[in-house]
Structure 1
Amino acid sequence: MAARPAASGGDGGRRDGDLDEAAIARLAAWLKERIPALGASTLPEVTRYAGGASNWTYRLRYPELDLVLRRPPSGTKAKSAHDMARESRILERLAPHYPLVPEALAYCADPEVLGSDFYVMRRIDGIILRRNPPPGLDLAPEEARKLCLHFVDALVALHRIDPKAAGLEELGRGSGYARRQVAGWTERYRKAHTGNVPRARKVIDWLQANAPTDAGSCVIHNDFRLDNVVLDPQDPTHIVGVLDWEMATVGDPLMDLAGALAYWVEAGDDPLFRALRRQPTHLAGMLTRREIVEAYCRGMGIPAIPAADWIFYEVFGLFRLAAIAQQIYLRYHRRETRNPDFRHFWLYVHYLVWRCQRILRRSGA
């Protein structure tokens, strides 16, 4: 199968991170030494996945195997979110306990191959939902509800894993996870600050003053979104894989749920929030954020969380999302990436901070 450069931008030009034929040849030689199943194959067909706001991801198609490669982006990076060795190790250790993780096959620390470290995993075949369902996939309301419940079930199953049994206890840092997260995301937001976004002082001060004690400690994904799960092509209400484990750690499970729901845009949300939607959680039959929390509590066998007690988690999830967006925008602001998709991320930051402030005002905080 002939090699070809990874997909370039729509204008025919090359994007940051596209692989040329020399890089593909080096990669193929490296893989052939480490994955015996490749046999006599020479060069893979390489396609770069669209998006890539965090790590860059490529599909490597061989006659024998369908693989996925992940590597860090260029420019300013949050080290914890781009540690390929750590991510690969997490997949390997979770595999016996959580069948939804992709199978990690090989990790490369040698920058001579692609210019950075990377790892390769087996591709999970299925459907990944984006802003809207793909053509031909029409989820009836009862199917949308069933998918939401399976989404919650997948998160509950992860949170029930004993970190020690999975060999991941080293990721934990003891109690105080919520407070550390507030401090960490505050620092990241401030370091990534540019003059065109708010300081968010009131939101930060409130989060620091109201961080709760940990609800528990378990393996958490830290980016558990509907567009990070793979659906069964034969029954799209069932989940067959969970992707993007770069921020997984051991911590408070409610903080994981908070991060997931920051992306959960409902049909009745305001137009600005709906404009930010990146997964089809607005469809008829989809659970509301509140219903997701209730289903999660039932699945975990814990008492229902009063709406007033959930305010911290909701505000934290949105502020964390603002910090992530600002970190990405900083790369564009410094011209470390030319991706035009990042040009307006500073506007997203404005909105997310405003949304946090509105929640606090309405709660009387």
Structure 2
Amino acid sequence: MADTIPVRAGEGIDLAPLEKYLRSTFRDLPSGELELTQFPTGASNLTYALKVGDWEAVLRRPPLGPVAPKAHDMGREFRVLQALVGHFQLAPKPLAFCDDHSVLGAPFFLMERRHGIVLNTDFPTGVTPTRDLGRRLSQQMVNELVGLHQVDYTKTDLVHMTRPEGFMKRQVDGWISRYNRAKTDDVQGVEELMKWLADGVPEESGCAIIHYDYKFNNAMFNRELTQMVGLFDWEMTTVGDPLADLGAAMSYWLQADDPEMLKVGLGKPPITIKDGFFTRREFIEAYAQQSGRDVSRSHFYVTFAFFKLAVIIQQIYYRYKAGQTNDSRFMNMNHGVAALVEWALQSVRRPD
């Protein structure tokens, strides 16, 4: 089953300058035609698969149109991957970074191509979902998140790229500011939610490397679904409170008994609603047991993560409404924003 699709309309790349760059950068590039396909998941940066003969790579670039200052920083994501080499094997090896706008019109980087299965909303053809499979995949997700948080960031170059002190306060203030800058529609309850978050920032639980976008469609498994073989989309990675990473993961981890407005607010729900997958509570408890961390304040982190996800979706919808992208997937994302805010408020009023 192919993990890429033909390039979406309006998101193509001029192959001539790209191939010229590739041949000047990779001297052992084989002869042959440059083939380009696109990875279908993700609503932010654009990610493509490149192939020339038996040579393969993955290209990441910012979305088309204007982007917010400091957002979609390809150079930073490339340096994050460089820092993880030798410390966390699920991170793909970075190959090259290019900030010459004459090639693609924007900075981009290349990383190694890995092969396997990326799970999103359904299992691939030929895989029979079972309760046991759901639980095994859930536990693998717990295992690798704990493993990432156990990496000693002081032994990596991330120590020079990050500022962990005061992380959560900066996060809450920063994401509230991002929402206000990207505001379009009036969303009921959002002011109440932002005040609750600003007033309730907890003491931080520690410092660790956090992926901050940890979910199934950023992970790759082997064909037997017995082992994770890759973790992608390191744009938001930093050093900060590991419970913020856990909370972010839980904002994507929908479960079968969630309200319908939450499950379908952003389209088809993820596989985590299927039989056997951990609930958010089970995931948090498994994480606590394996990591030894105190998760008694996880309610705040999960609520903040739902707000943060709402802001990310709002930023994408803002770009669509402003005519900066014509991707039809973004047309109704305002409904997803409202659903996430409503769910976060329900969480405030009735903690899990």
TM range (shorter): over 0.9
Deviation per CA, 1:34-65, whole angstroms, max 9, x where unpaired? 223313x2431101222441101111112122
The ranges of structure 1 where at least 4 consecutive aligned residues each deviate by more than 4 angstroms after the TM superposition are none
Q: Structure 1 CA distance, aligned partners of 2:123 and 2:288?
A: 28
Q: How does 1:1-365 map to 2 (within 5 A)?
A: 7-9=6-8, 14-15=9-10, 17-19=11-13, 23-39=14-30, 41-198=31-188, 200-233=190-223, 235-275=224-264, 276=266, 278-303=269-294, 305-306=295-296, 309-363=297-351
SS at match of 1:116: coil
* Contact 1:60–1:66, Cα closer than 8 Å, also in 2: yes
* Contact 2:189–2:342, Cα closer than 8 Å, also in 1: no
Deviates more, 1:273-282 or 1:316-325: 273-282
Deviates more, 1:331-340 or 1:264-273: 264-273
Q: Structure 2 CA distance, aligned partners of 1:336 and 1:181?
A: 26
Q: Structure 2 CA distance, aligned partners of 1:329 and 1:153?
A: 34
Q: Cα distance, 1:175 vs. partner?
A: 2.0
The one-letter code matched in structure 1 to 2:252 is Y
Q: Cα distance, 1:343 vs. partner?
A: 0.6
Q: Cα distance, 1:232 vs. partner?
A: 0.4
SS at match of 2:252: coil
Counting matched residue pairs gives: 346
* Contact 2:7–2:36, Cα closer than 8 Å, also in 1: no
The one-letter code matched in structure 2 to 1:241 is G
SS at match of 1:107: strand
SS at match of 1:246: coil
TM-score using structure 2 length = 0.94
* Contact 1:196–1:346, Cα closer than 8 Å, also in 2: no
The one-letter code matched in structure 2 to 1:84 is M
* Contact 1:258–1:317, Cα closer than 8 Å, also in 2: yes
Q: Structure 1 CA distance, aligned partners of 2:289 and 2:109?
A: 37
Deviation per CA, 1:269-291, whole angstroms, max 9, x where unpaired? 11112214542001111111011
Q: Structure 1 CA distance, aligned partners of 2:313 and 2:6?
A: 24
TM-score using structure 1 length = 0.91
Segments of 5+ residues of structure 1 without an aligned counterpart are 1-5
CA RMSD of aligned residues (A): 1.7
* Contact 1:88–1:107, Cα closer than 8 Å, also in 2: yes
* Contact 2:243–2:298, Cα closer than 8 Å, also in 1: no
Deviates more, 1:150-159 or 1:191-200: 191-200
Q: What is the aligned-residue identity percentage?
A: 37
SS at match of 1:313: helix
SS at match of 2:350: helix
Deviation per CA, 1:300-330, whole angstroms, max 9, x where unpaired? 1224x33xx3221121010001000000000
Q: Structure 1 CA distance, aligned partners of 2:12 and 2:331?
A: 20
The one-letter code matched in structure 2 to 1:98 is F
* Contact 2:39–2:47, Cα closer than 8 Å, also in 1: yes
Q: Cα distance, 1:363 vs. partner?
A: 4.2
Segments of 5+ residues of structure 2 without an aligned counterpart are none
